[in-house]
């Protein structure tokens, strides 16, 4: 802010703001943004799937897991309706997979269809509970582990 005080009593003090530094800063910022924006916008071209909601077909050989956080903050995993620990989950999953492979004629059987693990996770469940169950099922040999969700009421949902 500049102010000139003259020697003449008829002159009034000048109290205008000097906008030149402000304009200089704005021009520099404009140039920086013009250079930086194209760098930020660059991305890898990926074709995302355009899929409508497909209902899951439940087969009797599939495993249904329900996971929620307990009242003390620990993880509660249910195999169908039975509460299991992490070791029991691993043992049951290995046994289920062995029985299913034997039922279909062994590992070298043609058209061998392995069962899937379907996980229903409570909204308030911490990720480490669900991630631990996924890891345990994959350690047991389940190649396909999926999530069961509830679609919004009133129509089909769209995956974005």
Residue 111: Cβ within 10 Å count: 6
Map residue 158 onto helix, strand or coil: strand
Angstrom distance (rounded) from CA 142 to CA 63: 10
What are the chain's domains? 63-147 (3.30.420.270)
Q: What is the pLDDT along the chain (160 residues), one digit of tens a residue?
A: 555 555 556 677 777 888 898 999 999 999 998 888 877 676 666 665 555 566 667 788 889 899 998 888 899 999 988 899 999 999 999 999 999 989 888 888 888 888 899 888 888 888 899 999 999 999 999 988 888 876 656 655 555 4
Name the percent of the chain in helix, strand, coil, to the closest 5: 35, 15, 50
Bridge partners (DSSP) of residue 76 are: 68
pTM comes to 0.60
What pLDDT score was predicted for residue 98? 93
Angstrom distance (rounded) from CA 82 to CA 80: 6
What pLDDT score was predicted for residue 148? 80
Cβ contact 63:88 at 8 Å = no
What pLDDT score was predicted for residue 28? 94
């Amino acid at each position: 802010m500049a102010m000139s005080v003259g020697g003449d009593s008829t002159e009034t003090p000048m109290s205008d703001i000097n906008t030149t530094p402000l304009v200089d800063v704005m021009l520099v910022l404009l140039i920086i943004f013009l250079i930086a924006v194209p760098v930020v916008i660059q991305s890898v071209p990926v074709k995302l799937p355009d899929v409508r909601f497909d209902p899951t077909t439940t087969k009797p050989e599939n495993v249904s897991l329900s996971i929620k956080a307990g009242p003390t903050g620990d993880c509660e995993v249910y195999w169908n309706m039975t509460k299991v620990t992490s070791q029991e989950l691993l043992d049951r999953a290995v046994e289920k997979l062995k029985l299913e492979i034997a039922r279909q004629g062994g590992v070298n059987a043609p058209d061998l269809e392995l069962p899937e693990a379907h996980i229903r996770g409570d909204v308030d469940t911490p990720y480490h509970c669900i991630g631990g169950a996924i890891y345990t099922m994959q350690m047991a040999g389940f190649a396909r582990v999926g999530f069961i969700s509830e679609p919004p009421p009133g129509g089909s949902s769209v995956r974005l």
